[in-house]
Chains A and B, each alone.
Chain A
Amino acid sequence: MTCRSVGRVLRELDLSPGLVRTTNMPGAGGGVAYAHAVTRRASDPNVLIAASPGTTLLLAQNIYGGLTEDDVRWLGAIGAEYGVLAVAEDAPWSNLGELMDDWRADPGVIVVSGGSAAAGQDHMKVLLLVQRAGIDPRRIRYVPFDGGGEAMTALLGGFVQIFSGEASEVEGQVRAGRMRVLTVLAPQRLEGFLAEVPTARESGIDVDWITWRGFFVPSDISDERYDEWVETLRRVGQSPEWAEARQRNRLQPFFLVGEEFDAFVRQQVLDFRTMAREIGLSR
């Protein structure tokens, strides 16, 4: 989706000399595309591959068959979603602080659902949050479901107490008054229906969960070509055409390109790797 939107903006801004061809390369949570970029297209200056924290998480867990974050060059991200923690409408907690107090008192009674596997995005954001709040992440109970929809259904059915997901996933249930969002894991409050919900930072826990939508390029391209790509992505990211496409795809503003983004990704992989090791889910 991000790819196709960016492809369209590239055409609209006349930034591409020829046709932008979008290929969907399914498999292994981006692993197939990652391996393809590393092995088959290592020096192709004209290929751009989409990524997200799903990519960095799998890298952190060494699932891409020995490939690492150093095997490509990280280009930038131009949109994002943010993590949220939500509860059923009749839950006993009215804010993040109350939840954290109960959680700290007895981590065993609270169960979290999310749409990703253990050590996946929805699990990881909870772990980072509780760790920063001084709770042992190994004591957190997390049950994985097939996607945010099923995980929310489990919350509504009373099978779990907390839903960990993303802002766009909860909109329908929140507007219907069946779920409440306790916190958004963003550096500032979100636009739209969650504008009233305080960030974790406001509650004194400095954790963001940025589900960035970004790109990488193969590692063997020249530095000049890399700089050209950064410039291209910068122009796309700052264009009104992209702003419109971003909103249509329900993404929040997020912009980080070039060396800064590269450093950001490396730090993220490192954080995830440390956490995965801590909870015993890394090899």
Chain B
Amino acid sequence: MDALSHLMGGFAVALQPINLGLAFVGVLVGTFVGMLPGIGPINAIAILIPITFAAGIPPESALILLSGIYYGSQYGNSISTILLNVPGTASAVVTALDGHEMTKQGRGGPALATAAIASFFGGTISIFGLVLFAPLLAQWAVRFGPAEYFALMIFAFSALSSLAGDSLLRGLASTALGLLLATVGLDPNSAIPRYTFGQLKLLDGMDFVVVTIGLFAVSEVLQLLERTGAGSAALQGYGRVMISAREFAHMFWTMLRGSVLGFFVGVLPGAGGTIASFLAYSTEQRIVDREGTFGTGDIRGVAAPEAANNAAATGAMIPLLTLGVPGSGTTAVLLGALLGLGITPGPLLITEEPDLFWGLAASMYVGNVFLLLLNLPLVGVFVRALRLPQWFLIPGVAALSFVAVYAVNQSGFDLVLMTAFGVLGYLMRKLRFPLAPVILGLVLGPLMEKNLRRAMALSGGEWAVLFDSPVAITLWIMAIASLTIPPILARRGARGSATR
């Protein structure tokens, strides 16, 4: 097959000692950068770009290094998310739901191992997708217009019902809060400031990292403090590190579905890892969560989003390379690097720069193997961090939060904002309002608003445009189905287990 022979050529590029070394350095840097939320792959890549230019290495080698950081950081981020409940990217928020729960139950080791394995799965499967379908998918992504995006957002919002926990009303309130926060900043269409109260720092809106770290990490610290005062240890020790063969079999199909779903969402320009991980989680919950264990430390609740967001990271390379459309801040920086290296993204890139495209694809495969080999042994080391005494761990998490948020914009204002969100998060936990829907609203809100307004502008205000294409209609049906079918299934499942 044509693609296979190209891929072999790609491996010839990727396995050159220099590229092998750069892929390793990339994923290593990526892992550590991902572990420290806030500093983020964007900054690491931005710092390394001039160095790669100056070093004069060939473009494919530079890209292998830089994208290694990109997908490596997806691995690293799960570590602080699972162990400390400090998600540094939007796509890791879902991982926190079951991941941190597992840690609290003393199963932090298996949770981390699951994240590493699922990430490997997602990364690997999506590379096959990239190799086999890249040109085709680029065509498909182009047909996805504002109306289709809007329908996709609605579908993604249906994930809400699985994030809401025991009370749908509280979940809706949390989502509304997220949507509210999403409106702060410059209006995306007219660039007119909204709810900024003349505060220049608010023009760009609420930074996602500030809100997440405040809501999750700072409120976690407050809660830990409270429990320490009561004299009980908050975090358990750790048990075994690896997952068992049974657990692997248990989550196999979840990882597979998460990978495929994540890949396709990743291919859509602008959709990205966050939507992929939210959707994968809620889809899995609907398909496999018969006992209602999602959200209480279910290993599949870690596997689904981790597989999906890594698959999406690979999928996002397709619009980046063939359309020049970055799906996230990090890929936007990668785009800048490409242009600086004299590479023009476009439909011809695959044929004009075969070494670059196939070499990159092959190196991503190699990089994912590195990541797995690197991360599995490290799980034991990271889990040991939890044995640190409380008087060390709590200030440690607090310090990490402040450093992470300061790293984003070097702004003291952000620190104040984060602390305020920390207090808010603490109150929400006390009142049993779920936190994840806030992030869902904050991330999806602007996308939904922009695409709705675009669709309206294109149609001249005709609402019918929202239901005008087969893709859009399919997404609407899926959204409605995912909201209505689970309650029916739940009833049937309850009946089933009663008779058993």
Contact = CB atoms under 8 A, between A and B. Distances in A.
Contacts, number: 126
B12 interface: no
B347 interface: yes
A119 interface: yes
Contacts of A157: 142-145
A45 interface: no
Interface string B195-211: 00010110110000000
B146 A159 contact: yes
A169 B324 contact: yes
Nearest to A280: B190
Given A146-B270, A172-B349, A27 B145 contact: no
B200 A248 contact: no
B263 to A, nearest CB: 19
Nearest to B446: A146
Contacts of B297: none
B344 interface: yes
B324 A172 contact: yes
A97 interface: no
Interface string B463-482: 00000000000000000000
What's the dominant secondary structure at chain B's contact region?
loop
A160 B319 CA distance: 19
Contact of B324 (A29, A119, A152): A152
B191 A250 contact: no
Interface residues of A, number: 51
B344 A118 contact: no
A26 interface: yes
Most chain B beta carbons < 10 A, residue from A119, A145, A150 = A150
Given A26-B409, A117-B186, A153-B325, A171 B346 contact: yes
B344 A172 contact: yes
Interface in B35-91: 46, 50, 53
Contact of A147 (B53, B191, B192, B325): B325
Interface string B216-233: 000000000000000000
B200 A149 contact: no
Q: What 9 A-B pairs have minimum CB-CB distances, sorted nearest first? A: A172-B346, A149-B325, A28-B203, A117-B191, A176-B347, A118-B190, A172-B344, A157-B142, A176-B348
Interface of A: 1, 4, 24-29, 31-32, 35, 58, 61, 63-65, 108, 111, 117-120, 141, 143-150, 152-154, 156-157, 159-160, 168-169, 171-173, 175-176, 178, 248-250, 281, 283
12 contacts: A24-B46, A64-B200, A117-B189, A117-B191, A149-B269, A150-B325, A172-B349, A175-B346, A178-B347, A249-B340, A250-B339, A283-B192
